[in-house]
Amino acid sequence: MNRTRVILTAAATYIGTVVGAGFASGQEVLQFFGLLGPLGVPAIVLTTGGFAFFGYAIMEAGRRMNARSHLPVIREVSGRFISPILDVVTTFFLFGALSAMVAGAGSVLSQEFSVPWLLGAGLILVATVGTVLFGLRGVVTAVSTVVPLLMLGVLVVSLSVIVSRGAALNAPPPGARPLVPAWPLAGATYISYNLIMSVPVLASLGTTLRSKKEVALSSVVGAVGLGAALFLVFLAVVSSFPEVLKYEIPMAGMASEAYRLGGRFYTMIFLAEVYTTAVANLYGFSARIARSDSLSFKLVTVVAGSGALLAGSVGFTNLVRTVYPAVGWAGSLFLGAIIVYALRNRLR
């Protein structure tokens, strides 16, 4: 396979692993960056640089260790005292995020197409489990295939909103508070919770790359793509204050305003991202419990998927509000460990 294609596939997988359903909904960008107003811009710049650096560190560690799951990378980076904590936290939140994705699929299908919640959640779960049963190749294929569709949808909707409303770095309305009030902390928290959830895929992804140069190119291309997508959605969101605050899925709401069938079109993109996020989370969880080439892996995948359907009945909003901020704070411990590890080893 052409090495350029390998690098681009790795970069697309990196982007697809990070830009999950929370990003596709627009709610994530609104809460972390949009509600900061103009200060969301430096937060996004910080986030882009962080994705390049930390993505490289994780994939390179995975490449050197030929990692099959996140555990050896976490152990190598964090040491024997911190790694058990991070291992438990990561594994637990992988399952929590999977449950949130299943719940989100059921909710959006019920909202937009009047599909019973259990049927909608069950359909996305069957597709997710089926993909993960094919192992890492199935995960990479699924994620890298959906990324161009997501980016196209984000580009079309965001640019349409920006052109129709005019690009403006509006301040949020009074009383609207971001999840993290200080922009450096907002950027750091966004990086940490996304990367701690992405370690299982990124660590394994590093094994598909041959050299540090390929890892570096993949991480930089992926980070720039992530930063550009974040900025476009951010600009569309802040240009749409205060109306955008009424939508549970802001991007779908803005799509409805821009195009007659835009809401339903973007809902399908949102579902595609729910699927890729669920696939990445389920693969990471199962790969931690059992070897990806074993029968036990398949059994764990099916059992975990069934458990996620049960846990998802709690509701998408409740799961996201609980899981995502907690992951961010836990992930900051891992980011700190990576910085120390990088300084100690100079990423050699």
- Confidence band for 227, pLDDT divided at 50, 70 and 90: very high
Model confidence, pTM: 0.79
Range of the domain at 248: 3-345
Interval 212-240 mean pLDDT? 93
157-178: b or e for each residue (b if 16 or more CB lie within 10 Å)?
bbebbbeebeeeebebeeeeeb
The per-residue pLDDT for range 249-296, each reduced to its tens digit, is: 788 788 877 777 677 788 888 888 788 888 888 988 898 888 877 899
Q: What is the CATH number of the domain that holds 132?
A: 1.10.4160.10
Residue 347 pLDDT more than 60? no
The per-residue pLDDT for range 71-114, each reduced to its tens digit, is: 788 888 877 777 788 778 778 878 888 888 888 788 778 877 88
Q: What's the number of domains the chain is made of? A: 1
Q: What is the pLDDT of residue 316?
A: 61
- Confidence band for 1, pLDDT divided at 50, 70 and 90: low
Helices within 114-211 (DSSP H only): 117-132, 136-165, 183-205
Please check whether residue 226 is in contact with residue 17, taking contact to mean a CB–CB distance below 8 angstroms: no
Q: How far apart are the first and last CA of the chain?
A: 26
In sequence order, what E strands does 14-143 have? Answer: none
